[in-house]
Structure 1
């Protein structure tokens, strides 16, 4: 359960929200507060007022994986293997367990062949896949993606979506500009002007957005 009460921070003002869903899409126009909401939910930023609870705990007490809009800016190591292994090493996991985790998540995402490559030699899409692997390698309880698909081709986005679906995270929060991707979520949050205007199942939310640009293209085609 994600529970937000009287949250105020920068532009956002959310009096009350309770979401008990696995895959949650956060959508809305630019400047609506989506990234700020994710930053507070991840613990990157402390709210000015109010509380956020993830499974009854503050973000600081929860294992959280984060992938930002420009994943290459967050990659710290020169080799792919070392980047993915950084989290389990930080948690002092044994070398055999770390290696097992790295190879398991790389296999799930389909980047085993990249493990020995230099980060600098990768394409933008490959860097995004490495960033996702690094975020998911240590079994996060919550996985957060802040427009991680914004600069990717359709094929790479589909690979990320498939890998995210296989994550063991209790909650996945994905801010996206793709309404078709959002339509595949279990729950959708639509933000505008720092507040949550609509939230619910994709069918419930997009019914309110049918005459806007925030309506899934594939749904329009099927009508």
Structure 2
């Protein structure tokens, strides 16, 4: 369960919200507060007022994996292997366990062949996959993706979607500009001017957005 109560932070104004769903899509126009909400839910930012609880705990007490829109801003290490292994290393896991975890995460994302590469030599899509593997290596309880699919080709975006679907995380919070991807979620939050204007199943939310640019393209085609 994700619970938000009396949340005030920057432009965010969310009096109350409780979501008991695994794959939660966060959508809305630019500047609506989506990234700020994800930052607060992941523990990157502390709210000015109110509370956020993930699995009945504050974000700081939950294992959260984060994948941002621009992996260049978050990749810390020069080698792919070191980037993926960083999470278990930061948790002081034994070397054999760290090695096995890093290689398993790379295998899961389909980038084992990149382990010996320098991160600076990778394409944008490859960097996004490395960031996703690093997040998965932490065995996250909550996986947060902030428009991680925005600059990916169709093949790489589908690979990211597959990894997310197969993740063992209790919750996946995915901010996306792809309404077709959002339509495949269990639950959708539509944000506008810092508020959650609509929330519910994809059918419930998109029925309120049918005359807007936020209606899924595939749904228009199939009508």
Task: Indicate the TM-score class for this superposition, using the shorter chain for normalisation.
Answer: over 0.9
Shift of 1:67: 0.8
**Greater than 3 Å deviation, 4+ residue runs:** none
Shift of 1:104: 1.1
The residue that corresponds to 1:183 in the other structure is 183
The residue that corresponds to 1:73 in the other structure is 73
Shift of 1:205: 0.5
Shift of 1:118: 0.9
Shift of 1:62: 0.7
The residue that corresponds to 2:54 in the other structure is 54
Cα separation, 1, equivalents of 2:66 and 2:97: 22
The alignment status of 1:139 with 2:139, answered yes or no, reads: yes
Cα separation, 1, equivalents of 2:71 and 2:188: 24
TM-score (norm 2): 0.99
The residue that corresponds to 1:220 in the other structure is 220
Shift of 1:155: 1.2
Shift of 1:126: 0.3
Shift of 1:134: 0.4
Q: Deviations over 1:31-83 (max 9, x none)?
A: 11101100110111111110000011001111111111101221111110000
Cα separation, 1, equivalents of 2:208 and 2:155: 29
SS of the residue corresponding to residue 213 of structure 2 reads coil
The residue that corresponds to 1:64 in the other structure is 64
Cα separation, 1, equivalents of 2:189 and 2:57: 21
Q: Deviations over 1:184-212 (max 9, x none)?
A: 11100000011001001111111111110
Cα separation, 2, equivalents of 1:178 and 1:161: 12
Shift of 1:100: 1.1
The residue that corresponds to 1:26 in the other structure is 26
Shift of 1:12: 0.8
The residue that corresponds to 1:161 in the other structure is 161
The residue that corresponds to 1:11 in the other structure is 11
Q: Deviations over 1:90-137 (max 9, x none)?
A: 111111111111111111110010001111111100000000000110
Cα separation, 2, equivalents of 1:11 and 1:155: 35
Cα separation, 1, equivalents of 2:201 and 2:154: 24
Extract unaligned runs of 5+ from structure 2: none
SS of the residue corresponding to residue 152 of structure 2 reads coil
Cα separation, 2, equivalents of 1:55 and 1:122: 36
TM-score (norm 1): 0.99
The alignment status of 1:103 with 2:103, answered yes or no, reads: yes
Cα separation, 1, equivalents of 2:104 and 2:184: 25
Residues 116-155 of structure 1 aligned to structure 2 (within 5 Å): 116-155=116-155
